[in-house]
Structure 1
């Protein structure tokens, strides 16, 4: 087993372990806290799940850096860990989102995920997006993407009018106008639009062919995007920034697709940007 295979397998184990912990509080009366605004929520389940993910990773990779969404305590007995706020451009690291889609989680909606990405020198080498409510794990290794062992690929649709496009990210603040225009234009020029409330879930569905494309019209933290974009790339899809250039985890926006109508998606996004 190569190091990349080992890291992909560990990403899946860690995502499953954290997701199982989070699922214990799903559809419970767990208190809900807010972060940046009233719709940006967090719970103790997020922190507990993150602690379990980190504990699983550190059993095998004690010297690797950690980039995690939540401000949560480290596992008991662990104190000498390289915790970062951004993805390091050199060395080995893990990027963790314990519950992507916490707003869904607290409302009892099934679509939320635990996402883990292994990064080497700033680039993902193995990732997993686990859906605890469904028990499905989407895993990207060196050669392919699997869902619970079944090899996946992006869709083969080529007619934009048959495309189902995921609209990704939060509809907050100054972005509402952009999202409103994008939603209208997607429905007008493509087949249909979906907004699932979990960015990583949407990206996993593009990788599996359930969705044909996804648009994120603004930047997002790496824990919201790295695992899913890695899935799309390994499944044969196309991942770019809003200009059609190579996407990086700190890019200001994201377009993913099966590659069949990517230029049309870029044209739509660029035409609907804020004046």
Structure 2
């Protein structure tokens, strides 16, 4: 087994284990706290799931950096090898007892993802990506072959705060004017996983995203044959502003929609 193959297996193991911790508390009276704004919520399930992921990674790679959404984990990506963790991506879904939320784990080398896993335990799905491809529950998947915008669904993702709702509205308008339909699963990692598996044709935002919200899903999309850029059409990196992901065939259309969000 190559080192990268081993890292992909570890990402899957850690994501599944963290997801199991979160699943144990799903649809219970777990306390909900608010962070920076009313829609930015956190629960003990987030913290417990991240601790479980950290334990598993540290057991194999105790000297490698870990970037995570919760607690005292790093919040920016260092040089070298690092692990990126979101214990519950879609916490607003989680606290509303909706099933679409993910435990995301990715490994990066100098900021570039090399392995990823998104576990969605409430949906019984695990998405993984290694050097060879992207898989859902062990079966290889690929982006949709759709070339007609009027047959495609596109997702506006991440969250626009209350003082930026004009951008949220423009994102939705841009999609419904150009494509067959709009989807919003409420989890960026789930949205990117679904794009990688061919369920949708694009995912857009003009927001500079947190690395834990997107890196694992970006790797899933790329390894499934899709394309991910910033708003200028350059290759997306973790510090890019905006994220435009597509099946590749419709990237120009998806990029055009994303570019209207700024107004």
CA–CA separation in structure 2 for the residues paired with 1:49 and 1:185: 36
Tell me the distance in 1 between the aligned counterparts of 2:112 and 2:220: 13
Aligned-pair CA distance for 1:190: 0.6
| Residue equivalent to 1:41 | 41
Alignment deviations for residues 118-164 of structure 1 (CA, whole Å, 9 cap, x no partner): 11222111000000102211000011001111001000000011110
Secondary structure (helix, strand or coil) at the match of 1:24 reads helix
Aligned residues: 263
Q: Name which of 58, 77, 85 aligns with 2:75.
A: 85
Measured after TM superposition, the shift of residue 185 of structure 1 is 2.3
CA–CA distance in 2 between the matches of 1:271 and 1:100? 26
- CA deviations 1:79-117 (Å, max 9, x no partner) are xxxx5321112x221000000000100110000000000
Q: Which residue of 1 is the match for residue 175 of structure 2?
A: 186
- In structure 2, C-alpha distance between the alignment counterparts of 1:194 and 1:174, rounded to whole Å: 22
Unaligned runs of 5+ in 2: none
How does the TM-score come out when normalised to structure 2? 0.97
The aligned counterpart of 1:25 is 25
1:169 maps to what in 2? Answer: 158
**Distance in 2 between residues matched to 1:225 and 1:272, nearest whole Å:** 19
Equivalent position of 1:76 in the other structure: none
Deviations 1:212-255 (A, max 9, x none): 11101211100001000010000000100011111110111000
2:58 matches 1:58: yes
Residues 125-274 of structure 1 aligned to structure 2 (within 5 Å): 125-274=114-263
Paired residue for 1:123, among 112, 119, 123? Answer: 112
Q: Distance in 1 between matches of 2:261 and 2:30?
A: 39
CA distance in 2, matches of 1:5, 1:149: 14
Displacement of 1:57 after TM fit?
0.7
Aligned equivalent of 1:95: 84
Q: Does residue 1:111 correspond to 2:104, yes or no?
A: no
Once residues 18 and 247 of structure 2 are traced to their aligned partners in structure 1, the CA distance between those partners, rounded to angstroms, is: 30
- Deviation per CA, 1:21-40: give whole Å up to 9, x if none: 00011001111000011110
User: Does structure 1 retain, via aligned residues, the 8 Å contact 2:170–2:260?
Assistant: no
Shift of residue 182, structure 1, vs aligned partner: 1.9
How far 1:180 sits from its partner (Å)? Answer: 0.5
Change (3 A) 1:57 1:210: same
Two-structure CA RMSD over aligned residues (Å): 1.1
Contact 2:204 2:243 in 1 (8 A): yes
Which has the higher mean CA deviation after the structures are superposed, 142-151 or 167-176? 167-176
Query: 1:272: Cα distance to partner?
Result: 3.7
